[in-house]
């Protein structure tokens, strides 16, 4: 029988746990940087694009991806986009945001839901994630 895995995909942070076959207790999986708690990301694409939740913390994006989003205003990527554009953009809009090229992928309920950070992303995205080919991984 396979392992039972649980994923807590939060807006800002996520973790993955499984039920240990010997103890019957849940065990959190440690990520590539030694922590069980990982910032949320939707996808890391082979071309270097990073797809993130619109509610991703700017501080976490700066820390994990090396982006340079200003931290003296809105706290989320969605908030920064709305501040820059003055309104909720339509899906498909591309623009530069604090030196990072972005594309709005999904807008729902008058909020930016999903954003693609176009390459190069910050420090060109963590090499560990790119080389491992992980798709639903850690960052945001």
Contacts of residue 72, Cβ cutoff 8 Å, sequence gap at least 6: none
pLDDT of residue 121: 86
Residue 5 buriedness (CB in 10 A; 0-12 / 13-18 / 19+): exposed
Statement: the pTM of the whole predicted model exceeds 0.75? no
Please give the C-alpha separations between residue 111 and each of 6, 55, 57, 76, 108, in angstroms, as whole numbers.
Answer: 28, 9, 15, 12, 5
Per residue in 105-117, pLDDT (tens digit) is: 999 888 898 999 9
Question: What is residue 6's predicted lDDT score, i.e. its pLDDT?
Answer: 86
Domains and CATH numbers, the chain: 1-40 (no CATH), 41-124 (3.30.465.10)
**Poorest-pLDDT segment among 37-41, 48-52, 55-59:** 37-41
d(CA 109, CA 107): 7
């Amino acid at each position: 029988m396979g392992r039972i895995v649980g994923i807590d995909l939060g807006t800002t942070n996520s973790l993955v746990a499984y039920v240990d076959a010997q103890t019957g207790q849940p065990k959190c999986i440690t990520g590539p940087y030694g922590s069980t708690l990982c910032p949320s990301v939707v996808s890391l694409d082979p071309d270097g694009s990073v797809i993130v939740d619109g509610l991703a913390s700017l501080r976490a994006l700066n820390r994990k991806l090396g982006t340079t989003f200003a931290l003296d205003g809105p706290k989320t990527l969605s908030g920064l986009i709305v501040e820059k554009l003055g309104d909720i953009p339509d899906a498909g809009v591309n623009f530069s945001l604090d030196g990072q090229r972005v594309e709005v992928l999904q807008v729902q309920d008058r909020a930016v839901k999903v954003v693609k950070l176009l390459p190069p992303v910050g420090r060109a995205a963590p090499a560990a994630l790119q080389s491992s080919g992980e798709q639903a991984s850690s960052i945001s």
